[in-house]
Structure 1
Amino acid sequence: MIRAACFLMLLPVTADAACRQALALGLDVSGSVDAAEYRLQLEGLATALNSDRVQQVLFAQPDAPIRISVYEWSGPENQTIILPWTTIVTTDDLDRATDTLLAHQRGTAAPTTAIGSAMLAGFALLRDQTDCWKRTLDLSGDGPANTGPRPQDIGPAQQPPGVIVNGLVIGSGNQSGDDQRIADIKELSAYYRSYVIRGADAFVESALGFEDYAAAMERKLLKELQSLALGQADITR
Structure 2
Amino acid sequence: MRRRSMLAATAGLAWAGAWLPRPLRAEEAVDVLLVLAVDVSRSVDEDEARLQREGYRAAMTDPRVVEAIQGGMLGAIGVTYVEWAGAEYQRQVLPWRRIASQRDAEGWASALAEAPHASLSWTSISNGITFSAQMLAEAPFEGLRRVIDISGDGVNNSGPPVEGARDAAVAQGVVINGLPIMNDRPTFGRRPALPLDQYYAEAVIGGPGAFVISVEDFESFGTAVRRKLIREIAGLPGPVLEHV
Q: TM-score range by the shorter chain?
A: 0.7 to 0.9
The structure having more radius of gyration, on CA atoms, is: 2
Q: Which residue does 1:29 correspond to in 2?
A: 40
Aligned residues: 206
- Report the CA distance between 1:158 and its aligned residue: 5.3
User: C-alpha separation between the residues in 2 aligned to 1:136 and 1:155?
Assistant: 12
Q: Which residue does 1:118 correspond to in 2?
A: 128
Q: Deviations over 1:3-36 (max 9, x none)?
A: xxxxxxxxxxx97622111000111000000000
User: C-alpha separation between the residues in 1 aligned to 2:78 and 2:71?
Assistant: 13
- Report the CA distance between 1:159 and its aligned residue: 4.9
- Report the CA distance between 1:70 and its aligned residue: 0.5
Instruction: Tell me if the contact between 1:40 and 1:211 (Cα under 8 Å) persists in the aligned partners.
Output: yes
Local SS of the residue matching 2:129:
helix
- Report the CA distance between 1:173 and its aligned residue: 4.8
User: C-alpha separation between the residues in 2 aligned to 1:189 and 1:199?
Assistant: 17
**What are structure 1's unaligned runs of at least 5 residues?**
1-13, 176-183, 229-237
User: C-alpha separation between the residues in 2 aligned to 1:155 and 1:24?
Assistant: 14
Q: Deviations over 1:131-167 (max 9, x none)?
A: 2110000100101011111111226445562100000
Local SS of the residue matching 2:179:
strand
Q: Within the alignment, does 1:72 sit opposite 2:80 as a pair? A: no
Choose from 128, 146, 154 the match for 1:135. Answer: 146
Q: Which residue does 1:211 correspond to in 2?
A: 219
- Report the CA distance between 1:39 and its aligned residue: 0.3
- Report the CA distance between 1:102 and its aligned residue: 1.2
Q: Within the alignment, does 1:226 sit opposite 2:237 as a pair? A: no
Letter in 1 for 2:222: A
Letter in 2 for 1:197: I
Q: CA 1:154 to 1:61, structure 2 compared with 1: closer, same or farther past 3 Å?
A: closer
User: C-alpha separation between the residues in 2 aligned to 1:143 and 1:217?
Assistant: 18
Instruction: Tell me if the contact between 2:176 and 2:204 (Cα under 8 Å) persists in the aligned partners.
Output: yes
Letter in 2 for 1:215: T
Instruction: Tell me if the contact between 1:127 and 1:160 (Cα under 8 Å) persists in the aligned partners.
Output: no
Q: Deviations over 1:18-68 (max 9, x none)?
A: 211100011100000000000000000011111121111122248441001
Instruction: Tell me if the contact between 1:45 and 1:217 (Cα under 8 Å) persists in the aligned partners.
Output: yes
Q: Deviations over 1:109-136 (max 9, x none)?
A: 4320001000001100112447211000
Q: Which residue does 2:28 correspond to in 1?
A: 17
Does 151-160 or 196-205 show the bigger shift? 151-160
User: C-alpha separation between the residues in 2 aligned to 1:155 and 1:51?
Assistant: 30
Q: Which residue does 1:179 correspond to in 2?
A: none
Q: Deviations over 1:189-235 (max 9, x none)?
A: 1111111100001000111100000001011111111226xxxxxxx
User: C-alpha separation between the residues in 2 aligned to 1:18 and 1:71?
Assistant: 21
User: C-alpha separation between the residues in 1 aligned to 2:175 and 2:144?
Assistant: 12
Choose from 56, 72, 91 the match for 2:67. Answer: 56
Q: CA RMSD in A?
A: 2.4
1:118-197 pair list within 5 angstroms: 118-129=128-139, 131-154=142-165, 156-157=167-168, 159=170, 161-174=172-185, 187-197=195-205
**What are structure 2's unaligned runs of at least 5 residues?**
1-23, 187-191, 237-244
